[in-house]
Amino acid sequence: MPSFEPVYIKTYNKGLLKEKIKKAREILSSCSLCPRGCGVDRLSDQVGICKTGKNAFVSSYHPHYGEEAPLVGHNGSGTIFFTYCNLLCNFCQNYDISHEGCGEEVSCEQIAGMMLFLQNTGCHNINFVTPTHVVPQILSALEIAIENGLGVPLVYNTGGYDRVETLKLLEGVIDIYMPDFKFWDPKVAELTCEARDYPEVARRAIIEMHRQVGDLVIDKSGLARSGLLIRHLVLPHGLAGTRQVMRFIAQKVSSNSYVNIMPQYRPCGRANEVKELSRMLLPKEYKEALREAKEEGIIRLDGAN
């Protein structure tokens, strides 16, 4: 067992995890896990926007070396890529997974086995990718994994379209929150993912995440142990609203927030249906985004950009 003790160990030892599992599964009977609020009975395998019923689907699990340096370390971040999504951006770089359902249905026992395999492989954390729609399944799997020796930090790697009420079930469970803040303008959110409320939802969600875990804590070896890490993908033509997003983070979350401003946008999925998204990001647009972040007071930029 690592010397560092993840927050979920204490929650489990206090007997609080079982209650969280119970509450989360109850939500599935008329699902309101995410802001879509489909209201379907997922326990009976009815499906809504996320196309996921009682069981989760997983596309892959493996050590990942392409994440932020504080997550990767020497042995990689132990990523579990959940299939489907509640946000469904039309330009998603994992379109085959999020939209087309590339993956296999798995039980909670199988998810627990993946977590333990990744830990035993040497991964520094368990990184749940696109977890919003499968929170109950993750919690159930976590209980099994803890009982079999899990002891590395948990990362909640989300698009940011998360209900505060669901996030509160994860308090004392998730060590590292890693949300995207994708767009500032509701019109852009409507255009790209039919979620006009995304900016307001993301603001509330990120404030709640920070309340739970605080700023990102990195140990002497360079590994993240707890806290908030925010991602922001720069879009062509300034569609992401970088300056406004950075101003919000600095003024309403924390000026010490760790932020990864990402330059890798390329047209994927159905991006070509939107003229402004039909080309690659220009180097000058990325440099402008970095400048705006610094001008708004964001000083902890991933990769010392």
Q: In this predicted model, what pLDDT tens digit does every residue of 68-122 receive, in sequence order?
A: 999 999 999 999 999 999 999 999 999 999 999 999 999 999 999 999 999 999 9
Dihedral sign from CA coordinates of 183, 188, 192, 198: positive
The pTM of the whole model exceeds 0.95: yes
pLDDT of residue 3: 67
Q: What rounded mean pLDDT belongs to the chain?
A: 96
pLDDT of residue 304: 56
Phi and psi at 149, nearest 5°, equal: 105, 15
Transcribe 211-266 into DSSP letters. HHH-B-EE-TTS-EEEEEEEEEE--GGGTT-HHHHHHHIIIII-TT-EEEEE----
Residue 48 lies in a domain: yes
Band of pLDDT at residue 303, cut at 50, 70 and 90: confident
Residue 2 lies in a domain: no
The span from the CA of 173 to the CA of 180, in Å, is 20
Could you list the residue range(s) of the whole structural domain that residue 97 is in?
7-304
Dihedral sign from CA coordinates of 64, 126, 193, 259: negative
**Residue closest to 29 by CA, chosen among 37, 20, 41:** 41
Cα distances (Å, whole numbers) of residue 151 to 7, 80, 174, 218, 235: 10, 16, 12, 17, 37
Residue 285 lies in a domain: yes
- Rounded to an integer, the average pLDDT of 183-209 is 98
Place of tokens 């939209």: 99
Residue 29 lies in a domain: yes
DSSP-assigned beta bridge partners for residue 156? 128, 177
H helix or E strand, kind and range, residue 61: strand 56-64
Percent of the chain at pLDDT > 70 equals: 98
For residue 266, what are its two tokens? 């390329």
Pairing assessment for the beta strands 224-233 and 217-218 based on DSSP bridges: antiparallel
- Rounded to an integer, the average pLDDT of 202-208 is 98
CB count in 10 Å sphere of residue 284: 8
Residue 72 lies in a domain: yes
DSSP-assigned beta bridge partners for residue 116? none
CB 78 within 8 Å of CB 125: yes
- Rounded to an integer, the average pLDDT of 207-225 is 97
- Would the pLDDT of 2 be above 60? no
Residue 13 lies in a domain: yes
pLDDT of residue 7: 98
pLDDT of residue 1: 37
For residue 303, what are its two tokens? 């990769």
The enclosing domain of 56 has a CATH number of: 3.20.20.70
Residue 174 lies in a domain: yes
Give the number of domains in the chain.
1
- Rounded to an integer, the average pLDDT of 15-41 is 97
Percent of the chain at pLDDT > 90 equals: 98
For residue 179, what are its two tokens? 């949300």
